[in-house]
């Protein structure tokens, strides 16, 4: 038996939940809602210790959801708490909690679940963390939802991301507040030092073997069937999108080339087209299919060739697209190559791709 006692000098009416690897980091899990003994003091008892298959017991506290994650004294998200001995009584202190931003109502904050920290990529013979951001009302409705698969999951919603965050979680909440939030986002972590190879469509002398085809096959042949089986999705092509930034944008275009019958919505921010110029010569047949929409963004301060390459790709796509409004190019002359700028573009792109006629 394990009892966790929580002391916090900053308290409010939001319920406190424990989340960890014992429940795949699901928040708002009523099974792990702490009992409020008195103001600033909570308790929870594990009467049966979860079987983690030899992994260490990791956990965190959240006030409601990830928008209320526990913070350190410095106001930063803390590392996961770890127990080497999972028994007895543990007393933890949370000095403060994350507060939601003022530009969205926390009622609409998405339910963020880690599907697995070691999801198998059979095409690449490796494992990866996969997360899913479910609409705020997913568990209280019977609706089915379109799905957007996004690359570089580490940088999409975590406040302590090494290169900053898009803030996808908060933007989804704001979109939902405006009635534009019926969307499931699947966040696929990149492969660290293998990222460039996995996102590269072709073999190159600089980076060696390109594993883009194998990675794209994983998305289409392994991950998408899993998501469609386990979540209430609209699985058809017209409701399925893919996207990313930089190399993540490049591999998203390539995924459309390889699997034109899988994806119809493309969120392409600052794609690294310079790394794979052969992509212009591919048969971009996905652009000619019904329901296709391609949103391209480029910043004028991202480096030589970014805007020109985006314009070139847009022109090639327009030539293949029978509809006048299937491709949209947004250029910010002051735009830089970073997560903060891509996060600003995210809600505008999602609204145009999925919720505008």
Q: Which domain holds residue 61?
A: 2-97
pLDDT at 99: 73
For 67, the enclosing helix (H) or strand (E) is none
Band the pLDDT of 67: cuts 50, 70, 90.
confident
Largest CA distance in the chain: 67
Identify whether residues 83 and 116 lie together within a single domain. no
The two structure tokens encoding residue 173: 């909440």
CATH code for the domain in which residue 236 is found: 3.40.50.1820
Give the range with max mean pLDDT: 59-63, 184-188, 301-305: 184-188
Task: Phi first, then psi: give them for residue 122, nearest 5 degrees.
Answer: -65, -30
pLDDT at 310: 96
Cα–Cα distance between 122 and 192 in angstroms, integer? 18
Band the pLDDT of 75: cuts 50, 70, 90.
low
pTM for the structure as a whole: 0.76
Band the pLDDT of 160: cuts 50, 70, 90.
low
pLDDT at 217: 98
The two structure tokens encoding residue 36: 């409020």
Identify whether residues 323 and 189 lie together within a single domain. yes
pLDDT exceeds cutoff 80 at 132: yes
pLDDT at 74: 64
pLDDT exceeds cutoff 90 at 40: yes
pLDDT at 28: 83
| Number of domains within the chain | 2
Identify whether residues 309 and 169 lie together within a single domain. yes
Over residues 81-104, mean pLDDT: 86
Over residues 4-20, mean pLDDT: 92
Identify whether residues 217 and 331 lie together within a single domain. yes
Q: 28-32, 40-44, 231-235 — which is least confidently predicted?
A: 28-32
Q: CB–CB of 136/112 below 8 Å?
A: no
pLDDT at 311: 95
Identify whether residues 128 and 51 lie together within a single domain. no
pLDDT at 342: 94
Write down which residue in 97, 114, 130 finishes a domain: 97
pLDDT at 73: 78
pLDDT at 26: 83
Identify whether residues 34 and 133 lie together within a single domain. no
CATH code for the domain in which residue 47 is found: 2.60.40.10
What is the per-residue pLDDT across 247-278, written as a single tens digit (0 to 9) for each? 999 999 999 999 999 999 999 999 999 999 99
pLDDT at 80: 83
Write down which residue in 54, 73, 97 finishes a domain: 97
Identify whether residues 176 and 300 lie together within a single domain. yes
Identify whether residues 183 and 312 lie together within a single domain. yes
Identify whether residues 162 and 310 lie together within a single domain. yes
Q: 159-173, 192-206, 341-355 — which is least confidently predicted?
A: 159-173
Write down which residue in 78, 97, 116 finishes a domain: 97
Identify whether residues 86 and 224 lie together within a single domain. no
Identify whether residues 115 and 224 lie together within a single domain. yes
Which residues touch 44 (CB under 8 Å, ≥6 apart)? 3, 4, 6, 18, 32, 33, 34, 35
Identify whether residues 166 and 51 lie together within a single domain. no
Mean pLDDT, rounded, of the chain: 91
Q: CB–CB of 254/212 below 8 Å?
A: yes
């Amino acid at each position: 038996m394990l009892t966790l006692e929580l002391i916090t000098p900053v308290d409010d009416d939001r319920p406190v939940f424990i989340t960890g690897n014992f429940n795949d980091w699901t928040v708002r899990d009523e099974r792990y809602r702490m009992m409020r003994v008195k103001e600033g003091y909570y308790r929870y008892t594990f009467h049966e210790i979860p079987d983690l298959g030899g992994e260490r017991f990791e956990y965190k506290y959240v006030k409601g959801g990830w928008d209320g994650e526990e913070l350190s004294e410095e106001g930063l998200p803390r590392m996961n708490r770890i127990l080497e001995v999972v028994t007895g009584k543990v007393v933890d202190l949370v000095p403060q909690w994350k507060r939601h931003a003022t530009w969205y109502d926390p009622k609409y904050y998405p339910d963020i679940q880690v599907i697995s920290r070691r999801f198998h990529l059979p095409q690449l013979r490796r494992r990866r963390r996969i997360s899913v951001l479910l609409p705020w009302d997913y568990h209280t409705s019977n609706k089915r939802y379109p799905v957007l698969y996004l690359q570089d999951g580490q940088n999409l919603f975590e406040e302590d991301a090494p290169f900053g965050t898009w803030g996808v979680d908060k933007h989804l909440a704001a979109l939902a507040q405006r009635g534009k939030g019926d969307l499931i986002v699947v966040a696929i972590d990149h492969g660290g030092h293998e990222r460039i190879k996995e996102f590269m469509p072709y073999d190159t002398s600089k980076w060696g073997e390109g594993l883009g085809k194998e990675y794209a096959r994983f998305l289409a042949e392994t991950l998408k069937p899993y998501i469609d089986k386990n979540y209430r999705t609209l699985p058809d092509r017209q409701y399925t999108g893919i996207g990313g930034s930089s190399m993540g944008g490049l591999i998203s275009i390539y995924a459309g080339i390889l699997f034109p019958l899988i994806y119809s919505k493309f969120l392409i921010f600052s794609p690294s087209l310079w790394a794979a110029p052969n992509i212009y010569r591919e048969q971009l047949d996905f652009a000619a299919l019904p329901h296709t929409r391609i949103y391209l963004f480029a910043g004028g301060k991202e480096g030589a060739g970014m805007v020109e390459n985006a314009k070139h790709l847009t022109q090639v796509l327009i030539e293949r697209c029978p509809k006048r409004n299937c491709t949209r190019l947004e250029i910010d002359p002051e735009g830089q190559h970073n997560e903060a700028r891509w996060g600003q573009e995210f809600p505008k792109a999602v609204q145009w791709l999925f919720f505008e006629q």
